[in-house]
Structure 1
Amino acid sequence: MREMPPVEDLGSGMWSVPVPIPGNPLGYTLVYVLESPRGPVLVDAGWQHEDSWEALTAGLESLGTSVDDVYGAVITHFHPDHSGLAGRVREASGAWIAMHHADVAVLRYINGLGGTDRRKTELDQLRRAGAGAEELRAYEKLDPRMDPPALPDRELSDGELVDLPQRKLRVVWTPGHSPGHICLHLEDSNHLFTGDHVLPGITPHIGLYSVDGSDGDPLGAFLNSLAQVPEIGAAEALPAHEQRFTDIAGRTAELIEHHEDRLRELLAVLSPEPLSLWELTAALTWSQGWEGMRTVSRRMAASEAAAHLRVLERRGLADLRVRGDDVLRWSAGSGPR
């Protein structure tokens, strides 16, 4: 577990408040507090847990304000360590919640499914990936996940200015980690809030979960938006985890090269004989080791492998094969397209 940093004054009317993620190796989410004449605006809100709520409220009070004074919360993406407390902040203060419209659509879809249907969908994804009966049974026994985060009041688009009075906070759409992930450029101080898009030491999860093509090409989108981030020219990155950093161009180049290495590793595993997604994922290198992973982690690993396979498909280096058993299999492609 990562050690929690203190609340930090970043200057220019900005502070960071670490909010814990109980039981998670990430340790905490850095919630940023931006001063405005109408009251503070939050960038992200943190995990939905009583310990997290206490840390957020205490952090705000240490700055001479309170959760009751919050004017708005702009969420970089819908994942629960970023959006979980947004609804509670809104209940306490009447604040607006804003998120990119693509992630709002995801939340509406999740809300529409309900817990039971979500579990059925996830089990079908595992089956089509080629997971065995024992792993399917283990996944089915897991406790249901938490309720989805609150739906935002406002939907954002690329290039739009967030409602931050007397300041300029511009939306930069950076899809990949989620369909509607955004970075936020505070133009008056030239800082870039990077959410999970660019982190100083962690590679964000980029997964492909759907089997009907509706997820598009999340890794391709991630690589494209990574390449555009240095063009903003921000002086410093303020990520949602770990610590702030300045070499944005260097870090984005490292992330791009990491994924190109991963694509090369996966390409070496492909053969003329089609292999299931589960088989291909098991053949890759993982920090935990495939054998040491639980089914939840294996599902995430398979989704990452699927995202890389989608890129290889689009480059003509992998071919998707679906046989009568409906299991997804890939073989080596015929060549670049």
Structure 2
Amino acid sequence: MSGLELHEGQTRDRLSFPWETPPQPGHTREVAPGVLWLRMPLPFALDHINLYLLRHEHGWVVVDTGLNTPQSREVWEAVFTEVFAGAPVLAVIATHFHYDHSGMLGWLVDRFQCPAYMSFAEYQALFVTPPKGDEPNWAFSQFFQRCGLDSDQVASFRPMLSQMAYDTHAPTSFRRLRENDLLKIGERCWRVVIGSGHSPEHVCLYSEDDQLLIAGDQILPRITSSIFVSVTEPEANPLGDWLASLRRFRQLPDAVLVLPAHERPFQGLHHRIGQLQQHHEAHLETLTTVLKTGSQTVAALCPVLFPRLRGSFDLLMAMGETLAHINFLREEGVLTRTLEDDAWRFGLASSGEQVFAAEDIHV
């Protein structure tokens, strides 16, 4: 699932936005020769996703697809007629596996009998789905129990998950994208830049000649992609992956025009990367400060980082984000973990104590 955290009141004085307003939902705008920005509607509080359409010889290459919904199909049908004027889709590139980015991937690929391009880990992630049924399975229940929630709180997540799940029409084959692969699309050459943390191997496309970066969810102007730990990999350290990715993206020119998956294209890449780093560093500092008073569960620490939760969905995402910061600090040797009453408790490591962030085995 895709989750994004809104930063209210964030300063953006060093970011510039070439377009004051986005295109209307279902409409396009040319942002560079042969590059169209398509605003696809979403049925969420975050009510849109930006897709990018790239001219190539006698057809088009599509970057990301929208949710697998009737509304998305209606928009695509209009694009086929009014924008593509009957020219075919020649390839579809998925930046990552989340529903809003890859929901229509198989539908487009099958319709035009064209290849899907994505990284290996993102393709594999298409087939990892939440457990089915109304009753939580043992791994799901145990994960949130270990976080410090009671059985009623855990049970409240399941109906919400079934309601928010969107089927992804996954293609039966794909062509793998790797770091530094080069794609010649039209007259432009794009280099693949891989990010990680928000998803396993998030694909971005960088055009050096035209200073364009199709960034997906990796770099956004006002919101930051959720960096969270889920039941699928409870010992993961996505925040470590995310921060390492940001350092790599800083090697790109600051003047690049960033074409994000949400909100408006912008310039000021290095300033925005600095903001994202500071945001997570502040979360890490807050956790270590609070834990000076004694060990805590994830559930107890969650409202410290996210005090304005509006419901079960917010709680689910906030728990995963909080655990991502905890797992980062554990891997850095800052925190220890003990199991008490079936819940993990996290505390500061004693001065000079050697800490290993390995999985504890309990039988």
For normalisation by structure 1, the TM-score amounts to 0.88
Query: Residue 50 of structure 1 aligns with which residue?
Result: 70
Q: State whether structure 2 residue 92 is matched by structure 1 residue 73.
A: yes
Deviation at 1:317, TM superposition (A): 1.9
SS in 2 for 1:108: coil
Q: How many positions carry a matched residue from both structures? A: 326
Query: Residue 349 of structure 2 aligns with which residue?
Result: 333
SS in 2 for 1:35: strand
Query: Residue 235 of structure 1 aligns with which residue?
Result: 256
Q: Which residue identity is paired with 2:285?
A: R
Q: State whether structure 2 residue 149 is matched by structure 1 residue 131.
A: yes
**Distance in structure 1 (CA, Å) of the matches to 2:201 and 2:269:** 21
Query: Residue 210 of structure 2 aligns with which residue?
Result: 189
**Distance in structure 1 (CA, Å) of the matches to 2:291 and 2:102:** 38
Q: Deviations over 1:262-295 (max 9, x none)?
A: 1111112214643211111123344xx14xx322
SS in 2 for 1:19: strand
Question: Does the 8 Å contact 2:140/2:231 carry over to 1?
Answer: no
Q: Which residue identity is paired with 1:296?
A: F
Q: Which residue identity is paired with 2:176?
A: E
Q: State whether structure 2 residue 333 is matched by structure 1 residue 313.
A: no
Is there any run of 5+ residues in structure 2 with no aligned partner, and where?
Answer: 1-20, 355-363
Question: Does the 8 Å contact 1:219/1:311 carry over to 2?
Answer: yes
Question: Does the 8 Å contact 1:235/1:246 carry over to 2?
Answer: yes
**Which 10-residue stretch deviates more, 34-43 or 266-275?**
266-275
Written as runs of structure 1 = structure 2, the 5 A alignment for 1:84-123 is: 84-110=103-129, 115-116=132-133, 120=137, 121-123=139-141
Question: Does the 8 Å contact 1:313/1:319 carry over to 2?
Answer: yes
Written as runs of structure 1 = structure 2, the 5 A alignment for 1:147-162 is: 147-151=167-171, 153-162=174-183
Q: State whether structure 2 residue 185 is matched by structure 1 residue 168.
A: no
Deviation at 1:149, TM superposition (A): 4.3
Question: Does the 8 Å contact 2:298/2:319 carry over to 1?
Answer: yes
Question: Does the 8 Å contact 2:143/2:234 carry over to 1?
Answer: no
Deviation at 1:212, TM superposition (A): 6.0
Is there any run of 5+ residues in structure 1 with no aligned partner, and where?
Answer: none
Deviation at 1:229, TM superposition (A): 1.1
Q: Which residue identity is paired with 1:37?
A: E
Question: Does the 8 Å contact 1:316/1:334 carry over to 2?
Answer: no
**Distance in structure 2 (CA, Å) of the matches to 1:226 and 1:40:** 30
**Distance in structure 1 (CA, Å) of the matches to 2:152 and 2:36:** 48
Q: Deviations over 1:278-331 (max 9, x none)?
A: 111123344xx14xx3223212101101111122112322112224x4422211
SS in 1 for 2:251: helix
SS in 2 for 1:81: helix
**Which 10-residue stretch deviates more, 82-91 or 276-285?**
276-285
Q: State whether structure 2 residue 225 is matched by structure 1 residue 204.
A: yes
Indicate the RMSD between aligned Cα atoms, in angstroms: 2.6
**Which 10-residue stretch deviates more, 302-311 or 55-64?**
55-64
Using the aligned pairs only, state the percent identity: 28
**Distance in structure 1 (CA, Å) of the matches to 2:233 and 2:37:** 40
Query: Residue 30 of structure 1 aligns with which residue?
Result: 50
For normalisation by structure 2, the TM-score amounts to 0.82
Written as runs of structure 1 = structure 2, the 5 A alignment for 1:152-301 is: 153-162=174-183, 164=185, 166-210=187-231, 215=236, 217-233=237-253, 235-271=256-292, 273-286=294-307, 289-290=308-309, 293-301=310-318
**Which 10-residue stretch deviates more, 230-239 or 304-313?**
230-239
Question: Does the 8 Å contact 2:99/2:167 carry over to 1?
Answer: no
Question: Does the 8 Å contact 2:68/2:168 carry over to 1?
Answer: no
Question: Does the 8 Å contact 2:196/2:202 carry over to 1?
Answer: yes
Deviation at 1:231, TM superposition (A): 1.3
**Distance in structure 2 (CA, Å) of the matches to 1:31 and 1:167:** 18
Question: Does the 8 Å contact 1:12/1:189 carry over to 2?
Answer: no
Higher relative contact order (CA 8 A, sep 6+): 2
SS in 2 for 1:135: helix
CA distance change for structure 1 residues 183 and 56 in 2, over 3 Å: closer, same or farther? same
CA distance change for structure 1 residues 330 and 4 in 2, over 3 Å: closer, same or farther? farther
Deviation at 1:119, TM superposition (A): 5.0
CA distance change for structure 1 residues 118 and 30 in 2, over 3 Å: closer, same or farther? farther
Deviation at 1:34, TM superposition (A): 0.5
Question: Does the 8 Å contact 1:183/1:193 carry over to 2?
Answer: yes
Q: State whether structure 2 residue 158 is matched by structure 1 residue 140.
A: yes
**Distance in structure 2 (CA, Å) of the matches to 1:38 and 1:124:** 53
Deviation at 1:174, TM superposition (A): 0.5
SS in 2 for 1:170: strand
Higher helix share: 1
Question: Does the 8 Å contact 1:13/1:35 carry over to 2?
Answer: yes
Deviation at 1:183, TM superposition (A): 1.3
Question: Does the 8 Å contact 1:123/1:140 carry over to 2?
Answer: no
Q: Which residue identity is paired with 1:313?
A: R
